[in-house]
Amino acid sequence: MNSRGIDLPIRLQLQHSHWYCRTLKCITLRPRIFNQRAVQFLLIDTGPTGAWDWYQVPDHLKDTAVSDLLSKPQLSKFNRMVLGPNDSAVLDIMCQFEYRSLIHLFLSSPDSLIFEFPRFDLSFELRDGKLYSRAYLGY
């Protein structure tokens, strides 16, 4: 799986304000409401290749300064947004429930993939070949 480029999913384009920091070479995505500065997503320039690594900021860290969020130990704990394979049987099933362009995929650890449905406030975790609901334990 590859890291996403700068081509933002439609929900991130329309429902967030985008702030570029030249000194830190990152883009923060915040709510559109001007007085809410909580960082929801962090995009980091990976260098001359033009690629960007995308991270979802955990709820308890959304009010943290961007410079503190960028520390390597901190970033390793964040879910990293990735492109899913086009031939995934699990993704084919998920697309019967939601449009592919509205499903967000995150890598939370090397062996765990999260499928997030932001419109429904649902997410599922694929680990050890099994799909688990993150909202309803036991399912």
Residue-wise pLDDT for 42-74, tens only, equals: 999 887 877 888 899 998 999 999 999 998 778
d(CA 67, CA 118): 27
CB 57 within 8 A of CB 41: yes
Q: What angle do CA 22, 24, 30 make, to 5 degrees?
A: 85
Q: Kindly give, in sequence order, each residue whose CB lies less than 8 Å from that of residue 71, ignoring residues fewer than 6 positions away.
A: none
Task: Kindly state whether residues 57 and 27 are assigned to the same domain.
Answer: yes
pLDDT at 86: 66
| H or E segment to which residue 74 belongs | helix 72-75
Which of 51, 81, 111 is the C-terminal boundary of a domain?
Answer: 81
Task: Kindly state whether residues 69 and 3 are assigned to the same domain.
Answer: yes
CB 62 within 8 A of CB 39: yes
Which of 81, 97, 120 is the C-terminal boundary of a domain?
Answer: 81
Tokens (6 digits) for 29: 């995505």
Beta strands in 49-97 (DSSP E): 52-56, 79-81
Predicted TM-score of the model (pTM): 0.79
Residue 25 lies in domain: 1-81
Task: Kindly state whether residues 94 and 65 are assigned to the same domain.
Answer: no
Tens digits of pLDDT across the chain (139 residues): 334 446 778 888 888 889 999 999 999 999 888 788 899 999 998 878 778 888 999 989 999 999 999 987 788 889 998 877 766 888 888 899 999 888 999 988 878 899 999 889 999 999 888 899 998 887 7
Task: Kindly state whether residues 94 and 115 are assigned to the same domain.
Answer: yes
pLDDT at 111: 82
Task: Kindly state whether residues 5 and 35 are assigned to the same domain.
Answer: yes
